[in-house]
C-alpha cells in the first residue's frame, strides 16, 4: 500500500496545502486526532522552513511500512543555502530570521523519527516519520 504525493512549496499557501494533505493522509491511514494534529503541525513547521529559509522546495508525503507496521513519512527537501551548523539549528529558540526557532526542533519533537542532512550551498533534506 505504498502511496506518495509531492507538493511543491514556494509560498505560504503551499505550506497550508502540504499541511492539509498530511492531515488528510493521516486520517485515511487511521491515525487518531492527536496524531493527525502532530503530523500536520510538523509538516507545517518544516514546509515553512522551505519558504522562509530556502526559497522553496518540496514535501513528499508517503505511506510506509516497517515490519508490518504502517506509517506516514514526510520528506522535505530543498536546494537552498543549506545549514551551516545543524546542531545549533536544532536548538529550541534558535532562529536566523527572527522567528520562534521551533521549526526543526518542533518537527523532531512531534514525530516518532527525525533525520536531517544538510550541505552548505547544496540544500537540506529532512525526513520525519510517525508510526500507527
CATH number of the 3-131 domain: 3.30.565.10
Whole-number percent of the chain with pLDDT over 90: 78
Q: Which of 78, 83, 81 is nearest to 50 (CA)?
A: 78
The average confidence (pLDDT) of the chain is 92
- Cβ atoms within 10 A of the Cβ of 96, count? 13
| Residue 15 banded pLDDT, cuts 50, 70, 90 | very high
Q: Which residue has the cell 504525493?
A: 5
- Specify the DSSP element, H or E, that contains 89: helix 86-89
Comparing 92 with 35, the larger pLDDT belongs to: 35
Q: Per-residue pLDDT for 54 more than 80? A: yes
Whole-number percent of the chain with pLDDT over 70: 92
Q: Per-residue pLDDT for 63 more than 90? A: yes
Domain chopping of the chain, boundaries: 3-131
Amino acid at each position: 500500500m505504498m502511496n506518495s504525493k509531492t507538493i511543491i512549496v514556494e509560498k505560504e499557501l503551499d505550506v497550508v496545502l502540504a499541511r492539509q494533505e498530511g492531515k488528510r493522509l493521516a486520517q485515511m491511514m487511521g491515525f487518531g486526532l492527536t496524531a493527525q494534529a502532530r503530523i500536520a503541525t510538523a509538516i507545517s513547521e518544516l514546509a515553512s522552513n522551505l519558504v522562509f529559509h530556502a526559497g522553496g522546495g518540496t514535501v513528499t508525503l508517503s505511506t510506509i511500512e516497517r515490519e508490518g507496521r504502517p506509517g506516514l513519512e514526510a520528506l522535505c527537501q530543498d536546494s537552498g543555502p543549506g545549514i551551516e551548523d545543524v546542531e545549533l539549528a536544532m536548538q529550541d529558540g534558535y532562529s536566523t530570521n527572527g522567528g520562534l526557532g521551533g521549526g526543526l526542533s518542533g518537527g523532531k519533537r512531534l514525530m516518532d523519527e527525525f533525520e536531517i542532512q544538510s550541505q552548505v550551498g547544496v540544500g537540506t533534506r529532512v525526513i520525519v516519520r510517525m508510526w500507527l
